[in-house]
A and B are shown apart, each in its own frame.
Chain A
């Protein structure tokens, strides 16, 4: 599922908006049986605006999960999230004025799974970068 979602980000967003003033942080960690650092799909997200990080301790997923209650109003239509301990197969889209002190501000939408929330994400890209294709 994650691979399908990240492939979609590459082909439907990054490739279609090559001039967008954008930064992507792809945080990878083990969630499924058989996952490992050696299985990282290096050829999937090759855009130069993507920064890849390997999170062996799942610290980012664990950090975001308890904070999702506060960002529920920004959950993208079509997405679903319970109260898991680790947020994964998910995206969070922040605007240009976003900053991170205690928590990140400027959230536009977040979605889970990436595939389930892809249409709102695509619409957000069109609004943000429609003139920069």
Chain B
């Protein structure tokens, strides 16, 4: 095999092996789901969340997006 073709083959092999391992390593466990933004229409909805989490410290943040 010509030297340049061999180099390409090695590079492709490294990429394939790396891709196949990417879901198994420790990094995969640290992935965090993207947060979602759900509409709130009444204080009762916050009240329900608040009481559901009884026993935990709770922090309410009131913020504008910019």
Contacts and interface: CB of A to CB of B under 8 A. Distances in A.
Given A22-B59, A45-B35, 7 more contacts: A2-B63, A5-B61, A27-B60, A30-B65, A59-B42, A96-B54, A114-B63
B41 A100 contact: no
7 A-B pairs closest in CB distance = A53-B40, A31-B64, A2-B63, A23-B53, A39-B65, A92-B60, A63-B43
A27 B65 contact: no
Interface of A is mostly: mixed
B36 A28 contact: no
Interface residues of B, number: 32
A87 interface: yes
B36 A52 contact: yes
B57 A21 contact: yes
B32 interface: yes
Nearest to A98: B58
A129 to B, nearest CB: 8
A94 B46 CA distance: 14
Interface in B30-66: 32-43, 45-47, 49-51, 53-66
A100 B38 CA distance: 21
A31 B57 CA distance: 27
Interface string A54-71: 111101110110000000
Interface of A: 2-3, 5-6, 9, 20-32, 34-37, 39-42, 45-46, 48, 50-57, 59-61, 63-64, 87-96, 98-100, 104, 114, 128-129
A27 B63 contact: yes
Given A42-B35, A45-B35, A50-B35, A91 B61 contact: yes
B28 to A, nearest CB: 16
A40 B43 CA distance: 20
